[in-house]
Structure 1
Amino acid sequence: MQPKPPEIFARDDEWQYLAKFAERTGTRPKLGVVSGRRRQGKTFLLVSLAQQSGAFYFSATQATERDSLTLFSAALAEHLGTSAPFSFDSWDAAIKQLFAIFAERRELVVIDEFPYLSKVSPALPSIIQREIDRAVSTNAPVSLLLCGSVMSVMGRLLAGNAPLRGRAVLEMVLRPFDFRLAADYWGTTDRRLAAMTHAIVGGTPAYLPFVEGDVCEGLGDFDDWVRRTVLNPNKTLFREARYLLGEQVEARDTAMYQSVLAAVATGNCTRGAIASHVGRKVTDIGHYLNVLEDCHLLRREPDVFRPSRSVFRVCEPLIHDVSDTVLTCYSGVGFDGSLAREGDVRAVGLAQLYG
């Protein structure tokens, strides 16, 4: 099994499962699906795995089907070291050739940002299903990993009557670090400060480089740190909540999703309370709640006082912060670019810590 590179923080279990999946053993095809919201380190993990195992790695882009096929053909030719590039006129031809080549080479195939491809080529999952089934009947040992960040799309790949349902042997969701891992990652030894930091930025690995080394130096620096990072209109984290939502949901309904998240963040946690807050009937918000759950932006929990009911919680602290504090104190962060008031900053941390 390939050893985990030292530059990868934590993710020991994830690496173990991925490295085992990449091993060239057996005579049957293997399909794996890796998903998770952006900035959790999926691509970093998969690129490291590909480099160590000699896998073919292809990262899709937002492009037309023809352009995607051209990019795929060039990447495949480069990996194989062929002088002449491949020329595929359809994904049907491309996937057939891909399975034929790697059944012989017994190398792992990684396709990253798969939702970009399936969006413009809806038949692609069905094509992959057909080739996997053929590989099963011929004992062709092809190992294919599909990866993506659009949780609503990745979740449907293996659900219900989807073509790939029942074909995957690995289904991994990369989640943010928990409280203890996040404290180690941020280099915070003070438990109270670690809890307050986690309440603001959670455990998403990419947020540390986003602040460019500006780590909170102590409890006395906490308010200033939040103001100069999360609540600073000139910093990336200030708009991160908006970007997270925009990447996961249909553009035409963004306002409703924002309203649903804001309702939950401000304490309206039951279906009835959420519907009342957004001015809709309870039956009208079911779709929005389901999508936000699929995207891991909301989670459903049983109501401890009423077992027959459930309540909703915001999963991502940054979304909770923006909905609960920034929107209600927006004059504090100002359209003129001024920063939030100290009392507003402290309210964010306390609200997140003590609920």
Structure 2
Amino acid sequence: MAESFFNRELELAELETAWATPGAALVTLWGRRRVGKSTLLSHFAAGKRSVYLYGTRMTERDILADLALQAAAAFDDAYLRSAPFPTWDAALDYLARQARNQRLLVVFDEFPYLCEMTEGLDTLVQRWWDRVHQSAQLMLVLAGSGFSFMEGLTGARGALHGRRTAQVAVHPFDYLDAAQFFLHLNAEDKVRAYACFGGMPAYLRHLVGKGGLAEQVRRTFLSPGHVLFREGEELLRTEFHQEALYASILRAVASGEARPSDIARAAGRHSAVDIFDHLRRLQELRFLRREVSITEWQRPRSHRVVYRLADPYLRFWFRFVSPYQSFLQLGKGAEVWSREIRPSLDEFIGRTAWEEVCTQHLWRLLRKDQIQARFTQLGRWWDGKDEIDLVGLWRDRVTLVGECKWTAARVDSGMLTALQRKAAKLPLDGEPLWVLASRSGFDLALQERATRGEVLLVTPDSLFL
């Protein structure tokens, strides 16, 4: 199994740069729940003069008492242990005094919860920051899971507008980083494992031993005593007050519904208007991803809108675990695997994860200058008749066109011909880079064309070179 902390070099470097810069620094850090924000911040704080407060839905009095204990431990302040901070003003002023002559790191993790329990806390922090930042050697990190809340803090109408000195985003691992947790699997099963467990470190750490994919899924998802068996429910319960409707929406999307009106009907509502706010909230928390045809990405009001589950774990959980939870409670995990999951898994991957993995791979190739095409946008294209899995754009011109197939049959030259026919509808920038991705390889004619540079061929094995 992979080490408990790894592969956050970029995020750590951003934080270390802020720490090393003289003067006060106000950093916002955003990342989905379970992505490893707290682990990252704890790792960053180790060895530094620091105070770390994790926000919970406790009373303000209990939160301030917790903050006093953390500060007392950091500064060996016996008085503070017996006399907690009476107000946030008192707590913040104390921290500012501690940063007057020595560098101090203060982390408020899950800051949205702190603001929820103390109305106007963001404004209070703003006024305090304006008063002390010029005379304090202070690095303040505000971290949270709600993207719109964290962006709103420093947006045009936010209390901390114009005060942020750096921002850090913590994303799930992509397919290649996630594979560090199951190195013993073959290339195809690494793709399958990513399609099941996704890239959240908190989930990947449950992959232990050298067992195959079937054993790992049965031991985790399909075992009623395991945390991953109920994690989908726990996420909903933590984030939403109307848990049932949000679950219905996610279940509808997991079953294949994509258009807002179809999702609404499947969730028992009359029209898309009835779930508009719910869809927006699910987007904000990165449960759902809103997609438009790639050539319309600059048109926010496009009518060609679909929604997809953004997280591989949730896709798998809603498709294969949630519908069978009562049966699984009877200890029938092996039967659910053999009857429902194993026969359908490759079709599920072809419909959801394979295209996503190939997209991540192309971005990696671009980052390393290992691909001839240049693009700033990469996504799907569709109209009323045709659909293309991968289209890369440079400004408004198409530079890359690709198709992804996760089937047991080899891909032949006919697929490239069909792809070129569909691509004639696109605003091509000369001859684009043609990309074909196949689980089972390619015929000899395509392999020969690839050696001449006419097409880029992607297989599971090539993803992990």
TM class, shorter-length: 0.7 to 0.9
1:20 aligned to which of 10, 17, 22: 17
Contact 2:222 2:328 survives alignment (8 Å): no
Question: In angstroms, what is the RMSD of aligned CA positions?
Answer: 2.4
The amino acid of 2:103's aligned partner reads: R
Q: Which residue of 2 aligns with 1:285?
A: 275
Contact 1:178 1:203 survives alignment (8 Å): yes
**Alignment identity in percent?**
31
Q: Which residue of 2 aligns with 1:294?
A: 284
User: Distance between the aligned counterparts of 2:4 and 2:328, measured in 1?
Assistant: 39
Contact 2:26 2:141 survives alignment (8 Å): yes
Q: Which residue of 1 aligns with 2:161?
A: 165
2:332 aligned to which of 322, 333, 338: 338
Deviation at 1:143, TM superposition (A): 1.3
User: Distance between the aligned counterparts of 1:38 and 1:257, measured in 2?
Assistant: 17
Deviation at 1:95, TM superposition (A): 1.5
User: Distance between the aligned counterparts of 1:87 and 1:95, measured in 2?
Assistant: 13
Deviation at 1:92, TM superposition (A): 2.0
1:58-73 aligned within 5 A: 58-73=53-68
- TM (norm. structure 1) is 0.87
Q: Which residue of 1 aligns with 2:235?
A: 244
Q: Which residue of 1 aligns with 2:403?
A: none
Contact 2:178 2:204 survives alignment (8 Å): no
Q: Tell me, which stretches of 5 or more residues in structure 1 are unaligned?
A: 1-5
Contact 1:240 1:318 survives alignment (8 Å): no
1:199 aligns with 2:185: no
Contact 1:150 1:248 survives alignment (8 Å): no
User: Distance between the aligned counterparts of 2:272 and 2:204, measured in 1?
Assistant: 39
1:316 aligned to which of 307, 311, 322: 311
- TM (norm. structure 2) is 0.67
Tell which structure's C-alpha radius of gyration is larger.
2
Contact 1:325 1:347 survives alignment (8 Å): no
Q: Which residue of 2 aligns with 1:54?
A: 49
Change beyond 3 A, Cα 1:56–1:344: same
Deviations 1:242-298 (A, max 9, x none): 11222222x2x1111111111111111111211222223211211111111111111
Contact 2:289 2:307 survives alignment (8 Å): yes
1:350 aligned to which of 342, 346, 349: 346
1:145-294 aligned within 5 A: 145-151=141-147, 153-159=149-155, 161-188=157-184, 190-211=186-207, 213-217=208-212, 222-249=213-240, 251=241, 253-278=242-267, 279-294=269-284
User: Distance between the aligned counterparts of 2:162 and 2:202, measured in 1?
Assistant: 33
Q: Which residue of 2 aligns with 1:30?
A: 25
Deviation at 1:75, TM superposition (A): 1.5
User: Distance between the aligned counterparts of 1:296 and 1:103, measured in 2?
Assistant: 39
Matched residue count: 339
Contact 1:223 1:345 survives alignment (8 Å): no
Structure 1 residue runs of 4 or more that deviate by more than 6 Å after TM superposition = none
Deviations 1:113-168 (A, max 9, x none): 323322211221111111222235x4544210012335564454334522123322
Contact 2:290 2:307 survives alignment (8 Å): yes
1:69-88 aligned within 5 A: 69-85=64-80, 87-88=84-85
Contact 1:152 1:248 survives alignment (8 Å): no
Q: Tell me, which stretches of 5 or more residues in structure 2 are unaligned?
A: 352-465
User: Distance between the aligned counterparts of 2:193 and 2:290, measured in 1?
Assistant: 24
Change beyond 3 A, Cα 1:186–1:255: same
Give the stretch that moved more between structures: 119-128 or 79-88: 79-88
Q: Which residue of 2 aligns with 1:119?
A: 116
User: Distance between the aligned counterparts of 1:347 and 1:287, measured in 2?
Assistant: 36
Deviation at 1:7, TM superposition (A): 5.9
Change beyond 3 A, Cα 1:14–1:223: same
Q: Which residue of 1 aligns with 2:379?
A: none
